[in-house]
A and B are shown apart, each in its own frame.
Chain A
Amino acid sequence: MSTRPATSNTRQRLARVSRILQNVSRIGMWLWPALTIGGWLILEHLPKAQLQTLAGGPDLGIGSSMICDPAMEFTITWKVKFVGMVVSLVPATLQFLFMRQWVALFGLYREGRIFATENVRCFARMGRLLLGLSIFDILLSTPIHSLVLTLDNPPGKHLLSFGLSSDHVPTFAAGIAMVVIAWVMEEGCKLRSEADLVV
């Protein structure tokens, strides 16, 4: 009752595309934490330059602007790897939950539910997760990762970095946009349910 059926042709195309995107999202959902863990496991095998820019993972939270000193050495031990992995699993979990919402959203589209309250809920959750992710990236990621990477360095060689990068802006903006979209969609759903009761 809450969603009017789209034309069958469009609906079939939407279902087909949604099925593909749902499967891609499902793969991405598991791939992200796996790459994060994998990145930390092979940390010592990565080139130093990459270690300084990416810290050896898909996105382990260290930007190139963070570690300025090219002579900075990293003592990579299992302790460093483990602590780094645990810390990186926080944003990875947020990303996992974000992708799970994508899977759920494409599942709804696949069923032909394109303007229901469940869709609104998915958008709202995705927005909040993106905001959480960007706030973690902006405030905590760089200092924590810099500290973890130099955890086993000799005294005087530890590093605590703070940095802001324009890379964080799109994620933050996307998070706000998604929350606002969810808000607008919620109002739209209310209007639609009222319109459904106009005979």
Chain B
Amino acid sequence: MGVVVNLDVMMARRKVRLGELAARVGITEANLSILKTGKAKAIRFSTLSALCRELECQPGDILEWRFSPEDDADADE
């Protein structure tokens, strides 16, 4: 599983819509959707910072690490 993005959970808690948050953070709705659906390969510190600012949360509220067998295999190598 690796790093899981819990942006949808935070957005639901703050009752904020995708388009509105994208505008406030300063990225496109398409890019925010990529992040929300977990398709993103990386996130910039600036984006993470803006998300934390707008959602009034910590990075750990948005990103979470979960154990996966793949990580275990990587560690063995």
Contact = CB atoms under 8 A, between A and B. Distances in A.
Interface of A: 1, 194, 197-199
Contacts, number: 22
Nearest to B33: A199
Contacts of A199: 27, 31-32, 34-35, 40, 42-44, 47
B17 interface: no
Contacts of B13: none
Q: How large is the interface on B (under 10, 10 to 19, 20 to 34, 35 or more residues)?
A: 10 to 19
B15 interface: no
Contacts of A194: 41
Contacts of B31: 199
Contacts of B43: 198-199
B41 to A, nearest CB: 4
Contacts of B34: 197, 199
- Most chain A C-beta atoms within 10 Å of own C-beta, residue among B31, B39, B41: B41
Interface string B8-25: 000000000000000000
Interface in B19-75: 27, 30-32, 34-35, 39-44, 47
